[in-house]
């Protein structure tokens, strides 16, 4: 039943009453119904529960209203606004650009993100230097998107420009088609591209078609402005308190760097090296309550899955354990893959246990990873710096800014455990998030997955890292 029109029942009973404002309807119903799209940049219903940047935002908004959140997912962005206009939801949260054509049908709230619109191609197929060089080649885009509006506008200047619209897919599908060589180009927003390029390292940006598009929630035009105004107040305060930045960091903070060669090598090593150790990762992960893919990602960052790896500082093995760490864990042979993997799993689990109970996931995992690399005491020092700065010591986004300060005398002289190469654990964590994200994607079709975490990530060239060590207190 159409939610926005349900109050019109009074009219059917012979009255001429005006439906109450949309906010009142939501509060009376006790539910906030939101139409969104099934996409990593919006909403994903995984075995661990719902996630995604749009989901996190609307869940916080529903909690602020004191109502239950009801998600109405659709498979394509082309379905979002029709569902909203037909009254099947109170609002839409789907990474929608605030285009003039859409404003004819819906009202938009306060913008919460800016994106660039990329024309994407496959490396080796010839990068166009201008739009004229795109004419005559195949372009496929998602129907009903701002991407179509942009092409229509460009066609006024380039009448020979043509494209195909597909209403049954999401951008991720079209990026895969470009990567496979089935189509020459597609269009993707910068947020979507930043995630998907790690799965398809041959993809590149050919041209930027639009810069600085605003994304915002959409609301029915004929239902008053009460819910929109309340949403605007919420979003402004959410941003002011730094909570919006935390959501963005969770899903996009790790996408600031991209290494084409590193990504290709990782996928190649996944096929050639990982199989011989996978069963060990799975067994150790089950014993210590860790996702095996996260454990494998740590190992790849440490050694690129080489059991005989040796660093210039003397750390050895697939998990690159120091002598002190191996002794602490009761490991005699740290080069033995099984010993090293089980030792690394145990050590990571212990670092996780040491993280303050007030730290929630995924920040808890990221702080444990930082502690695995630089030592837990240096993470404690970073938390102290964050408190001095008036930040949130339970938020990874704040900790990641404080850790590099441990290399500056102004700061390390004030904390108990002193100097640290604090930029290294930040890169370390981002890289592992990247590898983990790719492993999740590569293993997504497997039925036996058991996941404790769901942490999207990015890829960056692995810096020389200081391996896990036992702190001396």
Catalytic residue among 302, 361, 387, 446: 302
Phi/psi at 416 (5° precision): -60, -35
CA distance to 180, 206, 209, per residue, from 164 (Å): 17, 18, 17
- Reduced 3-state DSSP string for 285-337: HHHHCCCHHHHHHHHHHHHCCCCCCECCCCCECCCCECHHHHHHHCCCCCCCH
CA distance to 81, 171, 174, 198, 399, per residue, from 192 (Å): 20, 8, 11, 11, 26
Residues ≥6 apart with Cβ < 8 Å to 202? 122, 123, 124, 179
CA distance 278 to 269: 12
302 catalytically annotated: yes
Q: What are all long-range contacts of 401-406, with beta carbons under 8 Å and residues at least 24 apart? A: 403/370, 403/374, 403/378, 403/379, 406/378, 406/381, 406/382
Length of the chain counted residue by residue: 473
Residue 213 · residue 115 · CB < 8 Å: yes
Q: Which residues are catalytic?
A: 302
């Amino acid at each position: 039943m159409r939610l926005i029109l349900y109050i019109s029942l009074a009219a059917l009973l012979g009255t001429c009453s005006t439906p109450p404002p949309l906010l009142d309807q939501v509060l009376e119903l006790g539910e906030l119904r939101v139409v969104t799209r099934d996409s990593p940049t919006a909403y994903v219903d995984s075995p661990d529960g719902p996630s995604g940047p749009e989901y996190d935002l609307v869940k916080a908004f529903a909690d602020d209203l004191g109502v239950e959140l009801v998600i109405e997912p659709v498979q394509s962005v082309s379905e979002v606004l029709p569902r909203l206009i037909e009254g099947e939801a109170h609002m839409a949260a789907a990474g929608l650009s605030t285009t003039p054509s859409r404003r004819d049908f819906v009202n938009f709230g306060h913008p919460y993100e800016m994106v660039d619109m990329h024309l994407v191609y496959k490396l080796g197929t010839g990068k166009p230097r201008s739009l004229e060089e795109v004419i005559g080649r195949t372009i496929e885009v998602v129907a009903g998107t701002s991407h179509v509006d942009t092409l229509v506008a460009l066609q006024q200047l380039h009448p020979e420009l043509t494209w195909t619209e597909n209403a049954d897919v999401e951008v991720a599908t079209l990026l895969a088609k470009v990567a496979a060589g089935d189509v020459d180009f597609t269009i993707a927003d910068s947020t979507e591209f930043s995630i998907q390029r790690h799965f398809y390292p041959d993809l590149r940006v050919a041209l930027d078609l639009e810069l600085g598009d605003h994304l915002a929630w959409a609301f029915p035009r004929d239902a008053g402005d009460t819910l929109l105004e309340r949403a605007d107040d919420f979003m402004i305060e959410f941003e002011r308190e730094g909570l919006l930045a935390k959501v963005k960091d969770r899903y996009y903070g790790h996408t600031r760097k991209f290494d084409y060669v590193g990504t290709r090598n990782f996928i190649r090593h996944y096929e050639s090296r990982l199989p011989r150790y996978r069963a060990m990762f799975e067994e150790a992960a089950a014993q210590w309550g860790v996702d095996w893919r996260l454990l494998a990602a740590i190992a790849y960052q440490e050694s690129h899955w080489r059991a005989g790896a040796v660093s210039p500082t003397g750390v050895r093995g697939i998990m690159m354990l120091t002598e002190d760490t191996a002794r602490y864990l009761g490991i005699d042979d740290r080069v033995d893959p099984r010993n090293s993997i089980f030792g690394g799993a145990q050590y990571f689990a212990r670092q996780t246990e040491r993280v303050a109970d007030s730290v929630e996931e995924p920040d808890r995992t990221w702080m444990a990873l930082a502690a695995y690399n630089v030592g837990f005491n240096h993470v404690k020092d970073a938390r102290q710096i964050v408190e001095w700065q008036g930040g949130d010591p339970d938020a990874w986004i704040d900790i990641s800014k404080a850790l590099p300060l441990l290399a500056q005398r102004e700061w390390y002289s004030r904390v108990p455990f002193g100097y640290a190469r604090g930029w290294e654990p930040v890169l370390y964590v981002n890289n592992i998030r990247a590898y983990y994200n790719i492993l999740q994607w590569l293993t997504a079709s497997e039925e036996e997955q058991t996941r404790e975490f769901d942490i999207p990530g990015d890829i960056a060239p692995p810096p020389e890292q200081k391996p896990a060590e036992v702190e001396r207190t």
